[in-house]
Amino acid sequence: MFGLPEAEDAARQDGALGPTETLRDPYHARNLKSRRILAVDPAATVTVLGHGPDGNTKPLAVGLAEFASSWRTGAASGRWSDAMYYWFQIRGDQVVWIEAQYVP
């Protein structure tokens, strides 16, 4: 993990941040393990960080299509927040469960 400005430099090196973009939070985590591409089970359960009526963060189930589109357009209608980290459960070669990790 890095703090600013090292985090922005590392994010640019990793291709996660463009030359004029800035980080929303003052850190960037680098995954040093090998990477691979996995299919996502169409029936995968997805839980994001939603907003309760009191404004507090709460788990919110969303459909896979809505979750996937948020990576291109942002979270739909402000019902939930973008998260920086997610937990994935993998069975065989498929992701079957995705859950946002709350980071204060």
Instruction: Look up the domain containing 94 and give its range.
Output: 39-100
Residue 25, CA atoms < 13 Å, CB-side half-sphere: 11
For residue 60, give the nearest of 28, 20, 89, 100 by alpha carbon.
100
Q: What is the pLDDT of residue 46?
A: 94
Q: What is the pLDDT of residue 96?
A: 94
Q: What is the pLDDT of residue 76?
A: 60
Q: What is the pLDDT of residue 95?
A: 93
Are residues 86 and 45 part of one domain? yes
**pTM of the predicted model over 0.85:** no
Average pLDDT for runs of 10 along the chain of length 104: 73 86 77 79 92 86 86 68 82 92 79
Q: Any residues with CB less than 8 A from the CB of 26 and at least 6 apart, and which?
A: 3, 4, 7
Are residues 58 and 96 part of one domain? yes
Q: What is the pLDDT of residue 93?
A: 87
Are residues 87 and 63 part of one domain? yes
Are residues 47 and 14 part of one domain? no
Q: What is the pLDDT of residue 74?
A: 65
For residue 103, give the nearest of 46, 25, 30, 17 by alpha carbon.
25
